[in-house]
Amino acid sequence: MTDGNRRRQIKSFVKREGRLTPGQQKALDTLWPQFGIDADDQLLDMAALFGRDAPLVFEIGFGNGASLLEMAKQQPELNFIGVEVHRPGVGQLLKAIEEHQLTNLRVACTDAVTFLQNQIAAQSVMRVQLYFPDPWHKKRHHKRRIIQPAFVELLAQKIHPGGYLHMATDWQDYAEQMLQDLSASVKFRNSSPSSDYIPRPDYRPLTKFEQRGHRLGHDIWDLLFQRV
């Protein structure tokens, strides 16, 4: 039994799994041994996992994987790990990895917070990417947002000095909270010249969701903080 006075650990997701297509299920069944990472409590050996040493990019919640796939294609000099709890998206990305014959992208299907804690070594990540996380827009649910001071501290442990945390959201109040929480940390420095937001970097592709938002006049806020 858990202590009722202890705060519930923030998770990186809420389970809302859709239906798997036959192709996604086949990818999970056949491609997982090659491209998937099982969740356990052992630190990953990145050189063994990728067959090389290269800077690591870690993405939390990649959705259907289209954006992450494009980044891995455009930046072959980097290693990428994406974590997503929704199996249809994982299956979709596994299919795409095989179709494009990528060797620099691996996938995990679990809670990203626990995965970071247990399987990613300290100061081993060049960049953490958190794009369009669940905004938990109702004020009483803000405590469920993944960006919280405790999680910022965990990220500071995993990102090496000089590395980056890159976040993006289409909810202004979440952007303001992210800005506040990261600015309060002595372990991160805002890369924005105006100490707030940055234009979308070229390495982050526009998603279909984002393109639709632009057509509807929605704003997007990108935040980039460097580990000091």
C-alpha to C-alpha distance for 32 and 109, rounded to whole angstroms? 10
C-alpha to C-alpha distance for 50 and 223, rounded to whole angstroms? 29
The long-range contacts involving 192-196, CB below 8 angstroms and separated by at least 24 positions, are 192/223, 192/224, 196/223
What is the H or E stretch that residue 179 is in?
helix 172-183
Residues with Cβ within 8 Å of residue 184, at least 6 apart in sequence: 149
C-alpha to C-alpha distance for 56 and 104, rounded to whole angstroms? 10
Active-site residues: which are they? 134
Answer whether 178's CB lies under 8 Å from 147's CB: yes
Q: Closest Cα to residue 44, out of 110, 115, 94, 103?
A: 115
| Cα maximum dimension of the chain | 49
pLDDT score of 209 = 75
Give the pTM: 0.90
The three-state secondary structure class of 181 is: helix
Structural domain 22-227, CATH architecture: 3-Layer(aba) Sandwich (3.40)
pLDDT score of 1 = 37
Answer whether 46's CB lies under 8 Å from 180's CB: no
3-state helix, strand, coil in the chain (%, to 5): 35, 20, 45
What is the H or E stretch that residue 223 is in?
strand 221-227
The three-state secondary structure class of 77 is: coil
Task: Point out which residues pair with 227 in neighbouring strands.
Answer: 188
CA-based torsion, 54, 55, 58, 59: positive or negative: negative
The per-residue pLDDT string of the chain (228 residues; one tens digit each, 9 = 90 and over) reads 334 444 445 555 445 556 899 999 999 999 999 999 999 999 999 999 999 999 999 999 999 999 999 999 999 999 999 999 999 999 999 999 999 999 999 999 999 999 999 999 999 999 999 999 999 889 887 999 999 999 999 999 999 999 999 999 999 999 999 999 999 999 999 999 999 999 999 999 998 778 887 788 889 999 999 999
Strand locations in 66-178 (E):
79-83, 105-108, 125-131, 159-169
